[in-house]
Amino acid sequence: MTKAYDVIIIGGGPAGIFAALELVERTGKVLIIEKGKSLADRGCPSKQQHIPCVKCKPCSIVCGWGGAGAFSDGKLTLSTEVGGFLDEYISKERLHKMIRYVDDLYLRFGAPGEVYGDDEEKVAAIAKKAVLADLRLIPSRIRHLGSGRTLEVLQAMKEYLEEKGVEVALNHTCAELLVENGAAVGVRLKDGQEYRAQYIIVGPGREGSEWLVAEGRRLGLETTVNPVDIGVRVELPAEVMEPLTSVVYESKFIYYSRSFEDRVRTFCMCPYGEVVVENNDGLMTVNGHSHAHKKTANTNFALLVSKSFTEPFKEPITYGQYVAGLANLLGGGVMVQRLGDLQLGRRSTPERMKKGLVVPTLREATPGDLSLVLPYRHLLAIMEMLEALDTIAPGVNSRNTLLYGVEVKFYSSRLHLSADLETEIPGLFAVGDGAGVTRGLMQASISGVIVGKEIKKRLGA
């Protein structure tokens, strides 16, 4: 029997959650479909039992209530300059107001009051040092939830939505978007069950971006190719980055390589955090977390090289998968290398790793040689960036610094969307990182609010 709703939301990540929060005050039926598990049931056997990744399907680190951000360190970037492409759809002024609106919602559900980056004098001093090192600091105020507190906030949101009548279908995978007479009418699940609704919001997250691209192609939707972000996760003693992280928590630096002028950026800085593995449909990539209550001796962050390709290139996800696949092929999963070994043109071995001063927080990573994995211009740009960072945080370019590979952000090709994030098919909206319009927790949440407000208006709420 086919069930009918007013709105169906595909994906229980921040984009889907905030769309539901916006819609919940009106009387109507809202369904959230999420292929992963509840927060209580999401767990990684490799971390819990200290064993190699068992390749769960779906991976509980990137799938489930809260999306991939549930186990991240939960950084809310209170800036219009980073985190996605929403300023291409709405004005900077409106985006700034939306940041405040969404930030207040996070506070309502338990986010901490402290904000990093408010000391303008100290931030200006870091920015001045950055300029002298050929780097550009993007000033960003950060509200840090921390991995443990992020789970608490997301669970509170789920309980609130369910109390308000929103149905949450976990462990259900959407197979197909249903379109009739040129308009969205529902979804079909893998088990064959159909659900109908007047409006469909698609927010499958990065893990579901490939599915969304395929569905867009099947439905004849126009797409734009996003830049491809590929790089490494850097791990070093927390003391090295303390002068920066104590002021702005997550330092966002931009660098353009001398050799090719490729854009390199720091991303997802995790003070006193740990490096983790992510299973992207069987492909092992690397990420970083910082916990609210548990600290390590290390800080980690990503260095990502952004590359825009032109015609006939149309497969940013496939390109990222190919590079990550090389690391998996050579290392059996995630690979780690001491920077000193990379500079000397040799692979890292377990024996050489033991001589280093940095104890890896990701113990299952295989010592190897990243020069056999990363494209030459990517590797060169990363090494130049490390030299530049060393001038403002001495010790970054140390031989003991660890590089994990690879880190890939699977941003989908962007569907052609209106200012309200509606596709060319009436009633079908696309939100979040999986739709290629955002690149972080804050803008993903905002994208959900944008769509929620528009649908609420159309429903006459």
Which tens digits make up the pLDDT trace of 326-370?
999 999 999 999 999 999 999 999 999 999 999 999 999 999 999
Segments making up each domain of the chain, as ranges: 3-117+141-223+414-458, 228-409
Region 3-117+141-223+414-458: CATH code = 3.50.50.60
Rounded Cα distance, 323 and 325, in Å: 5
Number of helical H runs and strand E runs in the chain: 12, 21
Distances from the Cα of 109 to the Cαs of 106, 154, 211, in angstroms?
A: 5, 8, 31
**What would the two tokens of residue 165 be?**
């009548």
This prediction has a pTM of 0.86
Phi, psi dihedrals of residue 439, rounded to the nearest 5° = -140, 40
Q: Among residues 266, 275, 206, 255, which one has the least CA distance to residue 231?
A: 266
Q: Apex CA 372: angle with CA 367 and CA 377, to 5°?
A: 120
**What would the two tokens of residue 112 be?**
């901490």
Question: How confident is the model at residue 391, as a pLDDT?
Answer: 96
Distances from the Cα of 228 to the Cαs of 12, 162, 184, 223, in angstroms?
A: 25, 37, 30, 15
Question: How confident is the model at residue 461, as a pLDDT?
Answer: 58
Rounded Cα distance, 280 and 207, in Å: 6
Contact between residue 36 and residue 60 where contact means Cβ atoms under 8 Å apart: yes
Q: Which residues of the chain have pLDDT under 50?
A: none
Contact between residue 301 and residue 233 where contact means Cβ atoms under 8 Å apart: yes
Consecutive H or E run containing 447: helix 441-458
Rounded Cα distance, 19 and 244, in Å: 35
Q: Tally Cβ neighbours within 10 Å of residue 380.
A: 17
Question: How confident is the model at residue 411, as a pLDDT?
Answer: 65
Q: Among residues 344, 370, 366, which one has the least CA distance to residue 353?
A: 366
